[in-house]
């Protein structure tokens, strides 16, 4: 490579990194502003002009949240709701996606397209009908009152992603196992699902994040404060006359930490699952 070519290549890399750093900074700015505000006194949060770095940083808000709120209970309830939603969603999505990937039947395309229809409606549009259904099923004020609707709204994405991934697994592998005497359940659990690990991890992550951040279902179907999740806990801190914004932001920061840990451990599988099938070889 000539000197001029080397200079152009270096200039392109500088521009690329500049754009990437700029985009990363833009995306992270709201999170930094939220975290920074938890370290400021209440008066500085709304001061003008706004400050990015706290003038007198303090962890007082974290101590207040720890001693004056049920933040650990809210985190625990968020785990229960999110894990329950993941389990119910996968129990329904895996058989549906696998059946569609391995069988041709009348109405298959219509079924797959109709599954997507659910994604077209915002939950708030259906909340009145859902309230009636949940009440009739006797699930009101139980964790299932939140888990069932959340699973219904995450099911379309999971069916389509797993369907696409199952299609990439050679049928010959299953036929060989069948010749060796494996049952259909053994083929699915011991051959197909292990090969589908990246897509399964992506499904679990997407569903977990969706359920973790749900406020509407908890706000509508749960009245017992002992079952509040993180978003509902934050909402309960809104006062009629006064709201402690610093404590609300602090609980929000605490609620994000488990998601960051989950993403850090599963990042490799998430990327692989999201890009599966994007390239034809």
Give the pLDDT confidence of 134-148 residue by residue, as tens digits. Answer: 999 999 999 999 999
pLDDT at 21: 92
pLDDT at 280: 44
pTM of the complete model: 0.84
Render pLDDT for 167-223 as a digit per residue (tens, 0 to 9). Answer: 988 888 888 888 888 888 888 888 899 888 888 988 998 899 999 988 999 999 999
pLDDT at 260: 87
pLDDT at 112: 86
Mean pLDDT of the region 228-245: 85
Spatial contact of 146 and 232, defined as CB atoms under 8 Å apart = no
Distance (Å, whole) CA 96 – CA 158: 10
Render pLDDT for 42-71 as a digit per residue (tens, 0 to 9). Answer: 888 888 888 888 888 889 999 999 998 999
Distance (Å, whole) CA 224 – CA 218: 10
Cα four-point dihedral sign 203, 209, 211, 212: positive
Q: Which of 80, 28, 117, 92 is nearest to 208 (CA)?
A: 80
Mean pLDDT score of the chain, rounded to an integer? 87
């Amino acid at each position: 490579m000539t000197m001029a070519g080397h200079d152009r290549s270096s200039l392109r890399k500088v521009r690329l990194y500049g754009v990437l750093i700029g985009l990363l900074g833009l995306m992270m700015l709201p999170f930094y502003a939220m975290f920074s505000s938890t370290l400021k006194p209440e008066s500085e949060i709304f001061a003008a002009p706004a400050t990015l770095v706290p003038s007198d940083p303090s962890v007082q808000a974290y101590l207040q949240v720890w001693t004056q709120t049920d933040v650990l209970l809210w985190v625990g309830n968020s785990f229960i709701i999110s894990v329950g939603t993941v389990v119910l969603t996968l129990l329904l999505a895996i058989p549906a996606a696998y059946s569609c990937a391995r069988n041709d039947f009348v109405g298959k395309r219509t079924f797959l397209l109709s599954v997507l229809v659910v994604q077209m409606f915002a939950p708030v549009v259906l909340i009145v009908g859902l309230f009636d259904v949940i009440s009739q099923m006797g699930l009101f004020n139980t964790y299932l009152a939140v888990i069932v609707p959340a699973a219904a709204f995450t099911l379309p994405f999971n069916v389509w992603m797993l369907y696409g991934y199952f299609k990439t697994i050679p049928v010959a592998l299953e036929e060989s196992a069948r010749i060796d005497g494996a049952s259909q359940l053994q083929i699915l659990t011991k051959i197909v699902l292990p090969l589908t690990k990246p897509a399964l991890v992506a499904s679990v992550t997407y569903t977990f994040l969706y359920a973790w951040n749900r406020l509407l279902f908890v706000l509508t179907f749960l009245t017992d404060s002992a079952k509040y999740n993180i978003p509902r806990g934050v909402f309960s801190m809104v006062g009629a006359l006064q709201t402690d914004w610093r404590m609300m932001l602090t609980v929000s920061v605490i609620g994000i930490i488990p998601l960051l840990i989950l993403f850090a451990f599963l990042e490799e599988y998430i990327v692989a699952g999201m890009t599966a099938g994007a390239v034809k070889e």
